[in-house]
Amino acid sequence: MDLAMKIGNKEIGGHNPCFIIAELSANHNGNLNVAMETIKAAKKAGADAIKLQTYTPDTLTINCDNEYFKIEGGTLWDGKTLYELYGEAYTPWDWHKKLFEVAAEEGLICFSSPFDFTAVDFLETLNVPAYKIASFEIQDIPLIAYTASKGKPIIISTGIAEEVDIELAVDTCRKAGNDEIILLKCTSSYPAPLELANLKTIPDLKTRFGVEVGFSDHTYGWLAPSVATTLGAKVIEKHFILDKTIGGPDADFSLDVNEFAELVNKVRDTEKLLGIVSYEVSEKVKNNRKFARSLFVVENVKKGDFITSENIRSIRPGYGLHPKFYQELIGKKFRTNANRGEPLTIEMIKE
């Protein structure tokens, strides 16, 4: 099933390479220069795209510190209110134009996750090539419908979703006239333990929903994205940070420049290993076929001698007749003299 689509100048899906996204998230730590340098570093590390998040604390939640709005439960952000976290993490909207410009100069595709209608409208003014719906917004059907209506490819993370949530989100996009949908397998745990990754879901998402698929990764390191690639992921998203020492709410599970470059290399090596379905033998392998088995004379013989299991054998190397002729040759006679170690040829054999 070839579901290729285009984001910017990149073909996604089919036999095309994985589309690798560096997620900026909060890793600018409130500093525009850090954000710009992070984009440049993402290009250096081999990313195809940089993704922003477009929200303010007020577009995501309200400033309230009662029990409903306090973060608890063993996360990296326990003790903060949602409003406090988002105030610390958001990317100022007046940075966006500059960040898009820096990405374009670097040859990186830049797009974003909108979190409300105003963010979609704002991103439209920047001519984004695609949209990403974050895991925790998969149930915001009005937002998905409005975003999908813009006619751009829409990438949806499934981190908190049950099957019914995914089905509703996909149906919403299609009802909006948008079938350019990519579902990302995701585990909304920060960081995510390997045993909760369930990467076998990736090919099932593709067949069950008839969409392109990928992986939004919150595990440590590069292993999970590499395995996801073997299972058909055509998009890989990973949090990226210029330097972990700058800290920030997402620093712990983000990859720095060297780590992200290693991830890209591992994914690209995995793609080389996967290759394509092919039964052709490369020229290099063809050259090595001379070391395969073939039929050889293994005793000195004279013209008229019978061919027996004692005087011919299937052995390496591969210069003689194919071993498949062995049984039918037994009992025939030699047409010529032959020495031990000569490849058996058709010219040696009497009809």
Q: What digits encode the pLDDT tens for the residues 216-249?
A: 998 888 999 999 999 999 999 999 999 988 887 7
Give the model's confidence band at 3: pLDDT under 50 very low, under 70 low, under 90 confident, else very high.
low
CATH number, domain 5-55+90-274 = 3.20.20.70
**32 has pLDDT over 80:** yes
- State pLDDT tens for residues 84-97: 989 988 999 999 99
- State pLDDT tens for residues 160-215: 899 999 999 999 999 999 999 999 999 877 677 888 899 999 999 999 999 999 99
- State pLDDT tens for residues 325-337: 999 999 999 999 9
Whole-number pLDDT of residue 251:
83
Question: H helices of 279-339, where?
Answer: 283-288, 326-329
Looking at domain 283-348, its CATH class is: alpha beta
**5 has pLDDT over 70:** yes
- State pLDDT tens for residues 70-125: 988 776 778 889 999 899 889 999 999 999 999 999 999 999 999 999 999 999 99
In eight-state DSSP terms, residue 74 is S
pTM for this model (two decimals)? 0.88
Pick from 253, 180, 181, 176: nearest CA to 222: 253
228, two tokens? 């996801």
Mean pLDDT of the chain: 94
Q: 287: buried, middle or exposed (CB in 10 Å: 19+, 13-18, 0-12)?
A: exposed
Q: 3: buried, middle or exposed (CB in 10 Å: 19+, 13-18, 0-12)?
A: middle
**Domain ranges for the chain:** 5-55+90-274, 283-348
